[in-house]
Amino acid sequence: MPLGYATGSIAGVTLQKPSGTPLMVRIVQGANVMSPVIVNNRVSADGTVYSQSFPVGGGIPFGAELPFCDLTVLLAILAAVQAAVDLQLSFAVVLTDDFQTVDVQALPASSDWITWEPQRTNPLTVKGVKMQFITAGE
């Protein structure tokens, strides 16, 4: 996979072409959800340094972008996410690139959580897919 692109799955749908070749995925704001805890270092009034750790809660935004996506993969993602939303459940987003790993339970960020542009040269490929999620806090 080229530097900076991720592989993985969204709502149980593996991001790969029917031939098995991984799709190129960019993780957007993945640093927000890389760790299950946030650690802040503080200095007390007497000069002692201490750390506070907080669990990552729900509602933290992040996303994924696919420059090109196979239509069957896009339809599978849409169906899996809609099934989870219908049942009021979150779904797993697992993406790994050269720098970070995102492995969280997520929800669509809004009703227009996914956008794309149809590619005119190939009706089986979708161009510029952008997905926006928030963490479920589970």
Type and span of the H or E element at 77? helix 71-86
pLDDT at residue 88 in the model: 92
pLDDT in tens, 94-122: 999 888 888 888 999 988 999 998 767 78
Whether the pLDDT of residue 90 is over 70: the answer is: yes
pLDDT in tens, 6-30: 999 999 999 998 888 899 999 987 7
- Whether the full predicted model's pTM is greater than 0.85, yes or no, is no
For the chain, which residues make up each domain, given as ranges? 7-135
Whether the pLDDT of residue 3 is over 60: the answer is: yes
